[in-house]
Each structure stands twice: as C-alpha cells, then as structure tokens.
Amino acid sequence: MPLRTEGPILFLMRISTFLDEFSWIEAALGELSAASEKARAEGRSSIALCLSGGLTPVSVYRAMAALPLEDLAVDLWLGDERVVPTGDPARNGTMVERAFADCVWKPLPRLRLWPDAETAAEAGSASSRYDAALLAALGARPSFDLAIMGLGADGHTASIFPHSPLLDEPSDSSGRPFLALVARSPIAPFDRMSLTLAALKAARRRIFLVKGADKLPALRRLEAEDPSIPASRLAGPGALVLYFGSSG
C-alpha cells in the first residue's frame, strides 16, 4: 500500500510516496484512467498525452500499453528528445516505440515523435517542425490531458536544465510562446530538443514520476518549490509527484 504525505497546503502539490513498484505503477495508471474518463465525460473522443523520456517511466509505459483502453483516440507526444542517430537506444522515441510495441488500445495510439535530428543544425529545423505540429494539433497553449514528467538529480525536467535559456519562456516576434526549441544539456548527449515551459504548463494534469533515493534531495527542493530548479516552474496546482523509494 502507498504511504501518502501531503505537501503544505500553500503549495497545492501532492507528494505521494510508494514503497513498492506495483503500487507506484498503479497510481500512474489511475492518472491515465482519470484523464480518459474526464475526456469521455466532456464528450471528447480523443486525448493527448505528453511523455517523459529516460529509463524511469519504462515500466509505467508498458503497463499503460496493457490497459484495455477502447474507443478513445490517443496522441502520444514527447517532452524532449536527444540529438542522436535514428534508432539509437538513447533516443526517447526509441524507448517509447518499444514500450508501446504490444499496445492493446483500440484504436492504437498515434506516436507523435520528434523529427529525426543527428546534428545541432538539424535540431533547429526538427524543433521548428515539432512546434508547428503541436500548434496545428493543440493550439498555441497545448492542453495535454496528462503530462508525465521526470525529475533529474539537478532538478531538471524534460531537457530544461538549470540556467537554460528555456527558463526565460521565449516567444516569437508576434509574442506567441514557442512550444518546442533546441536545448543544451550539461551531460551527454549534450544537444537536445525540448518542449518549453509554456507547453508543459498548459497541461490539464502534470505528474512527476520519480524513482530512487538519489532523487530525494531534488524531490525535497521540488516540494518546497525551490525557484532555483527548473522542475519547480511546473509545480503548484494540478501537479502531483509519484515517488517510488524510501522517504529517508
């Protein structure tokens, strides 16, 4: 059973701690089910999800793919991508394709992966195309039904790292916030592409999937909405943290 601790009411962000992976995964599945039911209640026949990359969410995605989700069209977008060769195991799109390879949803989800980019120069064009695709599908403020985000030990999320230019919430000449831009990581692979804070903030529901004792310091800073870490920009109302590990 999960052990739940509530963050201070002032922050309006829940922190739920789980001591076993099964309960952690079940909580994440509950968020997908809730988003699906909400869409149906509103008379919508489709939902849009934003997925995080890395290794932490793999077991959650595989479990999601096994849910009997029917009669709802689902678009799966990615929060960020690494600038690596197509098919590279480090590519988030490769991980998501594998995790949903045996998906039983009817209809099958549409994977809205980042365009291929193997160089920093190509990343600029790929980000522009992803931005345009998001704008066409979801509008200037893309209301993902559910955004699943990770948390780095340094407090980063997606590919928005401390001191990143993306923290300034850049916009185009008309004032429209960019939804996807080139990013830079302090760890390899260094060249990245990422959704911006504007795109992630607009999600109806935001959950952080966090695993491991090494993430506890960053988790405590997120709980306190420490402004020095990028993830805190996405905290507050509508945000939930699902943490699997010892609370220390």
**Has residue 4 been placed in a domain?**
no
**Has residue 2 been placed in a domain?**
no
Nearest to 74 by CA among 110, 115, 40, 112: 110
Could you report how far apart the first and last alpha carbons of the chain are, in Å?
Answer: 17
**Has residue 7 been placed in a domain?**
no
Q: Which domain holds residue 125?
A: 21-244
Given this model, what pLDDT does residue 11 score?
A: 45
Q: How many domains does the chain have?
A: 1
Q: Coil, strand or helix: which one is 18? A: strand
Do the beta carbons of residue 183 and residue 78 sit within 8 Å?
no
Nearest to 155 by CA among 236, 215, 92: 215
**Has residue 14 been placed in a domain?**
no
Nearest to 154 by CA among 214, 225, 197: 214
**Has residue 94 been placed in a domain?**
yes
**Has residue 91 been placed in a domain?**
yes
Instruction: Kindly report the pTM of this predicted structure.
Output: 0.93
Does 247 score more than 70 pLDDT? no
**Has residue 196 been placed in a domain?**
yes
Sequence-distant (≥ 6) Cβ neighbours of residue 109 within 8 angstroms? 74, 75, 76, 100, 103
Q: How far is CA 192 from CA 119, 126, 150, in A?
A: 10, 11, 15
Q: In CATH, what number is assigned to the domain containing residue 75?
A: 3.40.50.1360
Given this model, what pLDDT does residue 1 score?
A: 35
Q: Coil, strand or helix: which one is 78? A: strand
Average pLDDT, the chain: 93
Q: How far is CA 130 from CA 6, 8, 18, 115, in A?
A: 36, 37, 35, 7
Q: Coil, strand or helix: which one is 46? A: strand
Mean pLDDT calculated for residue range 22-47:
97
Euclidean distance between CA atoms 187 and 228, whole angstroms: 19
Does 63 score more than 60 pLDDT? yes
Does 207 score more than 70 pLDDT? yes
Given this model, what pLDDT does residue 3 score?
A: 36
pLDDT band at 59, cuts 50/70/90?
very high
Does 8 score more than 90 pLDDT? no
Q: Identify the burial level of 150 via C-beta atoms within 10 angstroms of its C-beta, where 0-12 means exposed, 13-18 middle and 19 or more buried.
A: buried
**Has residue 50 been placed in a domain?**
yes
Euclidean distance between CA atoms 70 and 48, whole angstroms: 15
